[in-house]
Structure 1
Amino acid sequence: MRYFILCLSFFLYLNVLSAQSNSYTISFENAVHHEAKVKATFPNIDQDTLSVRMSRSSPGRYALHEFAKNVYGFRAFDSKGNPLEIVRPDPYQWKVYGHDGTVKIEYLLFANRGGGTYSQVDETHAHLNIPATFMFAPSLEERPIEVTFDTREDLNWKVVTQLHLVSGTTYTAPNLQYFMDSPTEISDFGRREFNVDGQTIQFVLHHNGTDEELDTYFEKVKKVVLAEKEVYGELPNFDYGRYTFLACYIPNASGDGMEHRNSTILTSTRSLADGGMEGNIGTVSHEFFHAWNVERIRPQSLEPFDFEEANMSGALWFAEGFTSYYTNLILCRAGLMAPEEYIEGLAGTFNYVWNSPARQFFNPIEMSYQAPFVDAATSVDPVNRENTFISYYSYGSVLGLALDLALREKGLNLDGYMKLVWEIFGKTQIPYKIKDLQNTLGEYAGKKFADTFFNSYIYKSEMPNYKNLFETVGVLLKTNPEVAYFGAYAALDGDGNGEIKSNPTIDSPAYIANLDKGDIITAINGEPFPDGQQFDAYLLQFKPGDVLKIEFERFGKPKTTQVKLVSSPTYVISPSEKEGDELTKKQRDARKDWLKLK
């Protein structure tokens, strides 16, 4: 009798919930042509007009993506199936009039990009980013949501999502924000999982490989999870006690990674057998670190997430950039990347940031403000990003490196600071302001230290003394003054000439010589543009101080100029012992602690 009463109470609860919920059904009969059919019901409406719309943005992205462009065949009905009047006041929404307290809508969705931002429907899977898939009613955003995925049994499709399972293929979300943050993979996938402190970490992989490859890769994933848990000392409390990696490593996917509260999207065209075993694990590392930093250690500027506008935050140097610093560091600590490979791999990001003229225009906060223009945003007009923008991923990464090494000189480390930020803002889920990060660093390492770091490198765009910082862990930072530098990239244009493909770097030899992107180089020192050789390799025959006579065409008119080469500003980063320097015990111990070497 007690069991019967409990079951009856549960079903009554579901009936009440259903009456108060917005409900969706999505089906995939025409998957071969990348179409999904979506139906939704909005009951108990107490306003004369219901506005429904497609999102313009997506959690984890900061630019506008205008998902409404892929919607067509929209119709609306009342509870009895009578057609309703529809008005389009703008490209993003549909206003529905004349209902009887219930509005039912249906539409077709075209979806054919399998990544973290968009959706993809074909006969291999239904890969759904929720904002790119489902319309919503802004006035009803606090209502619970129920969604049923009508799977293709003929394709052996199964459903995986962070949404809460009701039964079969029906799931619930407590409100719109949670629903929009819950990507869903529907395919014939493989699944592996393990338990960490009472919570389940599951890795779901849609791929064309073998179970043995999945087993091998899952062992790498487990090492990443445990190494990142060590940074913070604990896992977050995941909703429903579960975190899910949703991986699609298939030829029709698009390379991407996108974090969510209790799950992450991982997509790549690289199979595990074709380089993905090593090439894809970095995205695993980056996205899982976001389970702490950005999902729960949350910038106030992103709360609540706005589905109708671009989302701008000045904290991305920390949210994305410090996460990027840990991406490869975690792989090294987990034994998935050799220490020498990790150290030498720092050079690419370091040179990009250190040698960029963009720092004269924007500091890290202002670079973060650029996200709506660069984060998978598209435009057709040319821009001068080579000279005016540094990715907040990269900028924050090299600043995270500097902060870590500087803290280690004080007997502290970045792990300790991240733990404190986690305790104050992550576990409590109190969104932070940038000033809060500064104050927390002051609490951890002293006010003077924190003020110097933020006032010099965050509010301004100065650079730390990396040479001295690297020396503390036995790492050498040096340039080669014998290597010549041109300042722009050129390549064959197909007619035997060379085209300058990038905006010349400000104050570089090419810039000073008034060369510009799109110029066609016809001769260098009286010789044709090199055929069959990379331009950078061609320049190795010259020395700093050499002058190149450049003959080129601009808008069809012949011109000449002279380019005086200078020493390359590119740095090499390497373990000091590789250059013949013997490490002191202090350097060895510091590096061992930094990289958590056994």
Structure 2
Amino acid sequence: MKLAVPLILIFSPFFLSQAHADVNYRIDLTQPQHHLAKVEVDFPRSEAKQLSVNLPVWRTGKYQVLPLGDAIRHFRAEDESGRALAWQRSASGEWQVKLSQPTQVKVTYQLYANSLGQRVSHIDASHAYLDASGVFVYSPDFRDQKVNVSLKVPEAWRSYSGMESKDAHLFIADNYDVLVDSPIETGISQHRAFSADGRDYELVVWGEGNYDLDKMVEDLTKLSGQAKAIWSGYPFKRYVYMVHATSGASGATEHLNSTVIQRPRFSFRERKDYLGFIKTASHEFIHTWNVKAYRPQGLVPYDYQQEGITELLWIAEGSTSYFQSQLLLRAGVITPKEFLEDLARRITRNEQTPGREVQSVAEASAGQWVAGGGDYAQNHSSNIYAEGYLTSLALDFSLLSDTRLKTSYRDLHAKLYQDFKLPVGYQVSDVQQILRELSGKDYGDWWQRHVNSPLVLDYEALLAKAGLKKDYGSDNKAIAYAGMQTREGSLRLSHVKREGPAWRAGIVAGDELVAINGLKVTAEGFAARIKDFTPGDTIKVTLFSNDTLKEVALTLAEQPSEKLKLVSVDKPSRKQKAFFKAWLGIDWPFDGEGKLKK
């Protein structure tokens, strides 16, 4: 149902909500300028001696414990007669309410919502974004009960969600799990409705920016019609793309029937920037199946009060990244050139990340809840998105080869959706069994080499199957490389590549550069200064390390001057062209001279 009818600063009648849900939420957003709201929750009659009231300690789509409970103040509990009930906070996301006799319980609290970048909650004078994990408490006793959410909002605001609605600002869901995965966007926004492959879609954009709504709708329509390239059927009837054009926040989160995508407000017009948006939209759309409709056993069901550990997050996230550009390519939203440029960047990043030699994608998946970033991650960690993408690529190529192009990685995901829809979760043994059924081969050894061990790929041999090869162009030459990177606008080092020149010289992240060969170096001129030298040269680097001035000798290595490109092999065979089409679903894109067709 489209939500276009205003409701002026009033709640929908309480008796009406009682007909739709057993747990009733009301949130007052009528004074939003200071990021504050009042929340009321009516829980059904409880026969227990105490009622546990919880707020999740993490939100879906972000595998990290967050301080969500800190947003709650003025917590109060009452019985059905309005008498105050004693309560005690027992954990960061838990309140224990004492009950002396059976009663319904009403909980009220003030919510502070200023976590836009975390995509948890944000309230200001123009809108409110509400992800239930950071907004609405629940009781485990009533987690499976139907819920109702009523919003009290300023007159000009409009409310949208993937949930069902019976009124302009009244949403209903089958249970808390649906509520927590169906965020609400309410406020001043732009709205468009469209259809694709028999499903209804909406685009809701909050914030001003240099976006083109018509272009967004056109491409989202094309994208949304491509799901059938992988899966048979849809896990939703209606889907909402929510977009925040912001002053800095960026990122995205998938949900059951919607997604929220955040981009800096002036990062839509240029093609490079727009590709970032539409690839993100594709990624989150794919998640509607991969993660929201089927996911690893360790995340089934969601435990909102603690981590869910699994070695298969690389499938949940990495293969989503793997498919995102493929669907856009099939839809004609991106060109073969743009697809190959993206793959080339991923290969380059992988080859320049020492952590890929240390940690497997299985270990990275299990450790994602405590994964950090920065220098340590680059040097000692694998990434479930980046290396998960390339593991998916390798598995796809292996399936295509083993089945003579009859079966691909898409078939594995189609089977996971068919056989492991929630509430069933899949395990490693399930994935390996599907691989055996699809290929007729045992993938145990493959799994050990590519998933349980650090990923090592022979890109030349792998790409050749699809008629591609790596190329740096005729203008490429070897240039000097120091193996260290400064923070933007600073001479303090953010990364020092493991076993690179700076690493071997004893330089570490956090050191601050002062001079090279006795001459002052600037933040803006550091990269250019290194190019003044030749690979093999030894330079004297003056720096502060732990506030101590020192000088070290650094012998420069080499790196290519040009970016990696993926081009056609010389005289590609019919077999290679057929492999390419089975892989990506489009015809061979190069002409007889090896140039990409227009």
Q: Which residue of 1 aligns with 2:593?
A: none
Write the deviation string for residues 272-292 of structure 1: whole angstroms up to 9, x where unpaired: 764464431111100001111
Q: 2:41 matched to 1:40?
A: yes
CA distance, structure 1, for counterparts of residue 255 and residue 191 of structure 2: 19
Q: Which residue of 2 aligns with 1:371?
A: 368
- Structure with more of its chain in helix, by fraction: 1
1:50 touches 1:137 (CA, 8 Å); kept in 2?
Answer: yes
Amino acid at match of 1:549: K
Shift in alpha-carbon separation, 1:224–1:541, aligned structure 2, 3 A: same
1:116 touches 1:266 (CA, 8 Å); kept in 2?
Answer: no
Q: Which residue of 1 aligns with 2:547?
A: 556
Write the deviation string for residues 104-136 of structure 1: whole angstroms up to 9, x where unpaired: 121111112335631111111111011110111
Amino acid at match of 2:395: L
Shift in alpha-carbon separation, 1:175–1:398, aligned structure 2, 3 A: same
SS of residue in 2 equivalent to 1:50 = strand
Amino acid at match of 2:461: N
Q: 2:429 matched to 1:435?
A: yes
CA distance, structure 1, for counterparts of residue 519 and residue 509 of structure 2: 21
CA distance, structure 2, for counterparts of residue 369 and residue 508 of structure 1: 28
Shift in alpha-carbon separation, 1:537–1:322, aligned structure 2, 3 A: farther
Q: 2:319 matched to 1:315?
A: no
SS of residue in 2 equivalent to 1:396 = helix
2:23 touches 2:147 (CA, 8 Å); kept in 1?
Answer: yes
Q: 2:338 matched to 1:341?
A: yes
Write the deviation string for residues 256-281 of structure 1: whole angstroms up to 9, x where unpaired: 21111222122222357644644311
| Number of residue pairs aligned between Structure 1 and Structure 2 | 565
CA distance, structure 1, for counterparts of residue 57 and residue 158 of structure 2: 28
Aligned-pair CA distance for 1:319: 0.7
Q: 2:519 matched to 1:527?
A: yes
Aligned-pair CA distance for 1:530: 4.6
Map 1:108-257 → 2, pairs under 5 A: 108-115=110-117, 117-153=119-155, 156-208=156-208, 213-232=212-231, 234-238=232-236, 241-251=237-247, 254-257=249-252
Aligned-pair CA distance for 1:481: 7.2
User: TM-score, normalization: structure 2?
Assistant: 0.87
SS of residue in 1 equivalent to 2:478 = coil
Write the deviation string for residues 390-413 of structure 1: whole angstroms up to 9, x where unpaired: 220001111122222333333243
Q: Which residue of 1 aligns with 2:586?
A: 597
SS of residue in 2 equivalent to 1:576 = strand
Aligned-pair CA distance for 1:478: 5.2
CA distance, structure 2, for counterparts of residue 569 and residue 316 of structure 1: 33
Shift in alpha-carbon separation, 1:273–1:293, aligned structure 2, 3 A: closer
CA distance, structure 2, for counterparts of residue 576 and residue 32 of structure 1: 54
SS of residue in 2 equivalent to 1:384 = helix
Q: 2:478 matched to 1:476?
A: no
Q: 2:456 matched to 1:463?
A: yes
CA distance, structure 2, for counterparts of residue 328 and residue 60 of structure 1: 20
SS of residue in 2 equivalent to 1:408 = helix
Amino acid at match of 1:227: Q
1:339 touches 1:595 (CA, 8 Å); kept in 2?
Answer: no
Amino acid at match of 1:208: E
Q: 2:23 matched to 1:22?
A: yes
Shift in alpha-carbon separation, 1:99–1:123, aligned structure 2, 3 A: farther
Shift in alpha-carbon separation, 1:82–1:183, aligned structure 2, 3 A: same
SS of residue in 2 equivalent to 1:208 = coil
Shift in alpha-carbon separation, 1:99–1:248, aligned structure 2, 3 A: farther
* Structure 1 residues without counterparts, runs of 5 or longer: 1-10
1:62 touches 1:310 (CA, 8 Å); kept in 2?
Answer: yes
SS of residue in 1 equivalent to 2:322 = helix
Aligned-pair CA distance for 1:514: 0.6
Aligned-pair CA distance for 1:574: 2.1
Aligned-pair CA distance for 1:442: 1.8
- Say which of 284, 288, 291 aligns to 1:287: 284
SS of residue in 1 equivalent to 2:222 = helix
SS of residue in 1 equivalent to 2:499 = coil
Aligned-pair CA distance for 1:222: 0.9
Amino acid at match of 2:92: P
Shift in alpha-carbon separation, 1:491–1:77, aligned structure 2, 3 A: closer
1:477 touches 1:572 (CA, 8 Å); kept in 2?
Answer: no
Write the deviation string for residues 524-578 of structure 1: whole angstroms up to 9, x where unpaired: 1232225632x3343233332211122222233332221112233899542435x
2:268 touches 2:277 (CA, 8 Å); kept in 1?
Answer: no
Q: Which consecutive segments of 4 or more residues in structure 1 shift more than 6 A?
A: 13-16
Q: Which residue of 2 aligns with 1:4?
A: none
Map 1:243-282 → 2, pairs under 5 A: 243-251=239-247, 254-271=249-266, 274-275=269-270, 277-282=274-279
SS of residue in 2 equivalent to 1:58 = coil
The RMSD of aligned alpha carbons is 2.9
Shift in alpha-carbon separation, 1:235–1:193, aligned structure 2, 3 A: farther
1:115 touches 1:266 (CA, 8 Å); kept in 2?
Answer: no
2:358 touches 2:382 (CA, 8 Å); kept in 1?
Answer: no
Write the deviation string for residues 220-264 of structure 1: whole angstroms up to 9, x where unpaired: 0011112232222x33231xx22222222244x721211112221
Q: Which residue of 2 aligns with 1:5?
A: none
Shift in alpha-carbon separation, 1:511–1:250, aligned structure 2, 3 A: closer
Q: Which residue of 2 aligns with 1:574?
A: 565
SS of residue in 1 equivalent to 2:73 = strand
CA distance, structure 1, for counterparts of residue 324 and residue 17 of structure 2: 45
User: TM-score, normalization: structure 1?
Assistant: 0.87
Q: Which residue of 1 aligns with 2:5?
A: none
Write the deviation string for residues 337-389 of structure 1: whole angstroms up to 9, x where unpaired: 22122212223322333343323432111111222124xx79xxx87222122
Q: Which residue of 1 aligns with 2:69?
A: 68
* Structure 2 residues without counterparts, runs of 5 or longer: 1-12, 588-598
Q: Which residue of 2 aligns with 1:394?
A: 386
